[in-house]
Chain A
Amino acid sequence: MRWWWQLKNDETDLERELRSDLELEEEEQREKGLPPEEARHAARRAFGNEALIKEQTREAWGWVPFERLLQDIRYSFRQLARNPGFAAITVFTLALGIGSTTSIFSIFYATLLRPLPFRDPGRLIILYSSIPAVGYVGPGSLTDPDFAQWQQQNEVFDQVAAFRGKTSNLTGSGVPERLVGATATASLFSVLGAAPELGRVFSADEQSAGRENVVLISHKLWARRFTSRPDILGKTIQLDGTPLTVLGVMPPQFQFPDQPDFWTPMVLTSDRSNAMDQVIARLRPNISLARAAEDVAIIQHRLAPEDRHDEIHLSFVFLKDIMGATVRPTLNILFASVAALLLIGCLNVANLFLTRSIARHHEIAMRRALGASRLRIIRQLLTESIIFAGFAALLGLALATVLGKTLAGLLPQSVPEPGSLYHAVVSQIDLRVLGFSLCVALATGVLFGLVPALSVSKSNLSSSLKESGGTHTVEAGSHRIRRSLIVCEFALTLVLLFAAGLLLKSFLRLLQVNPGFDPHNVAILNLELPETQYKEGAQMIAFHDALLTRIVSLPGVRAAGTVGFGLPFGDGGVRGDFTVYGEPQPPDVASKLAVSAGYFSAMGVPLVSGRWFNQQDSQQSQHVAIVSESFARRFWPGKDALGQRINPGFSGTGWCSIVGIAGDVKQSGLASSAPLTIYLPYPQAPDFLKSFMTIAVRADANRLDLLHALRSQVQSVDPDIPIFDASSMEDLVTKSISQPRLNTFLFVIFGAVALVLAAVGIYGVISYSVTQRQREIGIRMALGAERRSVMLMVVREGARLAFIGISAGLAAGFFVSRLIAVFLFEVTPNDPATFASVSILLGAVALAACYLPARRASRIDPMSALRSE
């Protein structure tokens, strides 16, 4: 707007200059002896036409195009003010479309498309593996010796690094805390091009045994636990009871692999039994992914031809392709539906502009006749469209900011987990997207706003002027366009409504699912016993026995139990093969849970037959197991499973007698089916199931201080054990359906908005058509048509459009619904009931929207209608 002030300045300056020179001339004339009055006239004569001079001077400034623009803008605002309803609807419709598209795409971009915060991220690759037998595709891993060979022998990587997730308990200063971290080769930092914010990263030397007691900490941990003190370097911190020297602090943006709080050097062993190392590498220029995979396959073959796992296929994927992979389908579908919403908005705006432009036909013809050039009129109409779009953009931007923040909060964030790759769902308003939606909106306005200008310039001016009030000529064609716009709008709306209906139905089904346990009033807390302090199984059993005894004796606690991994709705747990006594190895996999005696009553899992575990099921006693109902049915259909023997397939556990049958529990979410499950008493389970345990406590309702009490019980057994991820079963269940809830919520909103827009659209068209047909309707009524039949005639016109739109939408919905099939639970994508109900809903809304203009039509007074023409 600077030029505007400049212009104002120049204007006053010119005024002053002319004034001063004119006065001087006048003075000189007076000095010559002329009387004042005559002197003034003489001066003016000598000076010439002042207005013309100003005009010509202004031309010299080169501001004229801007002044015309100013005029256009003023005129546009006058137009806006004259029809505030139109302006409000247009701006609101556009803002809705622009705002929602921008917010969704901003998340889309920031989460999925934004370049990764690493040096030259395009060439970073991750080892992937697929195991077709079990349908696994995901990050792959290698054994330490395999990785060492790869690092030396490959010819395809610039650099390669191994890493794995790791959790440790931080003790020593203040409350113990469980940290998620990573252990990695020193090459990780050079692969990613990361430098510490303080100190140095570890070197390859520190990967050797005896020198590995060093650690890098995250910026977050540094700030949280060490008040960002720079003298942290060289200090030692206690992780799992081991003192480690702090070498450096990593900057806040470095969060690889999964928002770790610390990084320790990986000491490569010669252990071939465990493939735990995930691999990231920087691909050499001009080497393809396939070529890299071949190269490493050769090395792999050379390494261990005897124990090659044919069933595991190793490959590589680009890091950028898998970041944010979990939210990608949701965002894709959201983006598509938001685009549909924007399209509906544009159709509506097109309709509105078209309606208005027909009404302005006369006005434009008049302005042409008065000498406005065609270009000038087009420029004027463009200015108007831009102003509309500008307002819409402002409002849309506000909407996008609010919506984006809300959505980013609602979308599932990735939780720090050992061994997974980090992605953050973030919202950052993307100006390019805002620009894009703005352009779409603008183009719509321009396209349909220009129709009258062009048609007037084509058609005969005088005939346009003769038409009173602007009707006819352009009428027939544009009305056809308007009708087709409405049909498109209805088709799109139906598709959105259909998707919303399917998701809603599916979500309601999901809510009715019985998880197999009673989630109410169950508190959950996790703890991990560090290997360094708890070496023997007996130590862990002693810890848990002591803790559970203390918890059960707390007032208000009804039952308490512990489960090693495998808490339902938790992080998955251990699954694997097993054998049934007297039968060949079954192809099935079972969930294997190590639980304490009180676990079942704490969780509210029903006992079908037999008994629960008890204190007698100790390390020394005969090995026993409880299986799930479906497990019993699968292997002993119609027979009693009690007393049968199974081998849970852990090294060290032999045959176990089945002593009880528990109800089926949906281990991994409401939408999943209950897996075959084997429960072992935890004293008899392998040690690794005992080191990480979840404690479930069923208490009286309203025990708000329960968590505090539980924490102090843990402290009293071992003050160095932190508890983490404290929650409740109800929260876990709610969280497990947060994704479908969000999808449903969004689609219902989208559907509702589309429905409103469609109603506005059809109302506009029918209402306009009634206005145009006022005379015809008047004649009909004068000739004796009943009010009812006039009403019916109008409604029929709307109903016809709605019907065509809905039919087209049904056809489209039939195909589109397949895209959301993956989000559906127990609902087929072509659910007839949903098809029927959304069609009826949309139809009813259309009829309701047509009712108002129809009623108006039926109340037309024939006399005044005929007179008004």
Chain B
Amino acid sequence: MGKTQDRTALLQGTLDMLILRTLLYGPAHGHQIGKQIQRTTNEFLQMQHGSLYPALHRLERRGWVVSKWEMAPDRNREFKYYRLTEKGKKQLVVEESKWKRMAEAVARVMWPSAEES
């Protein structure tokens, strides 16, 4: 139990950020979000769509996204669309800067020469 928690905790933050970032383009349902992330990372993030839902629901509880059942323009049936809130937008900025700082920190360790030059 403990180990899984560590891993999801690490993944969670990243996944949350990716979802928020994806929703910045506009409202989308779970399937679209999954496809979008997969496509933009050039299929690099081989994630199962299912793992999106716990994250989506968590974001909704926190008030970063809101959801609504809406008609899909191309499919003629309802999907649960998620939409970024103001709070979510702010959160995205926070997550982004956090990620950036971490990436920089990692980069400084990994490629110290690049920093000097």
Contact = CB atoms under 8 A, between A and B. Distances in A.
Decide if A and B are genuine partners: yes
A57 B57 CA distance: 6
A27 B54 CA distance: 23
B79 A18 contact: no
Interface stretch (B17-25, B44-52, B88-96, B102-110): B44-52
B86 interface: no
**What secondary structure prevails in chain A residues at the interface with B?**
helix
A372 B58 CA distance: 28
A53 B80 contact: no
A50 interface: yes
A53 B31 contact: no
B23 to A, nearest CB: 16
Contacts of A21: 29-31, 49, 79
Interface stretch (A59-67, A422-430, A453-461, A754-762): A59-67
B79 A59 contact: no
A16 B30 CA distance: 12
B75 interface: yes
A227 interface: no
A52 B51 CA distance: 9
B53 interface: yes
Nearest to A16: B80
A223 B75 CA distance: 73
Contact of B61 (A18, A46, A60): A60
Given A20-B78, A25-B31, A61-B61, A46 B48 contact: yes
B49 A48 contact: yes
A90 to B, nearest CB: 38
Contact of B50 (A13, A50, A59, A61): A50
A18 B34 CA distance: 13
Contact of B31 (A13, A24, A49, A59): A24
B51 A24 contact: no
B3 interface: no
A62 B61 contact: yes
A60 B50 contact: no
A274 interface: no
Q: What range describes how many residues of A lie at the interface?
A: 20 to 34
A50 B50 CA distance: 7
Nearest to B51: A48
Interface in B41-79: 48-51, 53-55, 57-58, 61, 75, 77-79
Query: Which among A13, A17, A61 has the greatest number of chain B C-beta atoms within 10 A?
Result: A17
A61 B62 CA distance: 10
Interface in A286-334: none
Contacts, number: 55
B53 A24 contact: no
A672 interface: no
Contact of B58 (A25, A47, A60): A60
A14 interface: yes
B50 A17 contact: no
A17 B53 contact: yes
Given A17-B80, A20-B79, A60 B49 contact: no
Interface string A60-95: 111000000000000000000000000000000000
A9 to B, nearest CB: 13
Interface in A189-204: none
A24 B57 contact: no
Contacts of A61: 57, 61
A46 B54 contact: no
B8 to A, nearest CB: 8
A439 B98 CA distance: 50
Nearest to A24: B31
B54 A24 contact: no
A50 to B, nearest CB: 7
Contacts of B57: 14, 57, 60-61
A532 B51 CA distance: 98
Given A46-B48, A47-B48, A62-B61, A57 B77 contact: no
A66 to B, nearest CB: 14
Nearest to A46: B49
Nearest to B33: A21
B10 to A, nearest CB: 15
B61 A14 contact: no
B80 A60 contact: no
Contact of B53 (A14, A16, A62): A14
Query: Which among B50, B78, B79, B80 has the greatest number of chain A C-beta atoms within 10 A?
Result: B50
Contacts of A16: 80
A24 B79 contact: yes
Given A20-B79, A27-B75, A53-B53, 16 more contacts: A14-B53, A17-B80, A20-B77, A20-B78, A20-B80, A21-B79, A24-B75, A25-B49, A48-B48, A48-B50, A52-B50, A56-B51, A56-B54, A57-B53, A60-B57, A60-B58
Interface of A: 13-14, 16-18, 20-21, 24-25, 27, 46-50, 52-53, 56-57, 59-62
In order of increasing CB-CB distance, the 9 nearest A-B pairs are A48-B50, A48-B48, A56-B54, A60-B58, A53-B50, A21-B31, A60-B57, A17-B80, A57-B54
9 contacts: A21-B30, A21-B31, A21-B79, A48-B48, A48-B49, A52-B50, A53-B51, A56-B51, A60-B58
